[in-house]
A = this chain, B = another copy of it.
């Protein structure tokens, strides 16, 4: 009778957290005032230790910057600010999210298409190219104007 749905999603939870965290840092941190994982976790309602892991991963890949010790924390340097969103998604969820076949076939191309390929490829690509053009800085600025939530 009832169904056991898998509850799929476009971006993994790690990736969603990563994006929200990066935007938060972009908005609240400066070179003089760093943001700690603690504060971020509370404000964004993300499990603290899990968020730490994610931030680690982002810093390792140089998408955010950090310093240890008292008054340490995370911030974005000039390069970090210009990171495009697709880079963050790539680091968190791997490449291939935007390349892979919707039906999970091993290959995806117009010369080797699945039945859905030509139906949906424009949306996948559109989404991808949008994220490719969008920087963290720009995204953070959206939060200022209008009632944008994190």
Contact = CB atoms under 8 A, between A and B. Distances in A.
A85 to B, nearest CB: 8
A25 to B, nearest CB: 13
Given A115-B23, A134-B119, A103 B3 contact: no
A9 B92 CA distance: 12
A139 B85 CA distance: 33
Interface string A8-40: 111111111101100100000000000000000
A130 interface: yes
Listed from nearest, the 8 A-B pairs whose CB atoms lie closest are A5-B94, A6-B12, A16-B104, A123-B127, A8-B12, A8-B93, A115-B142, A123-B123
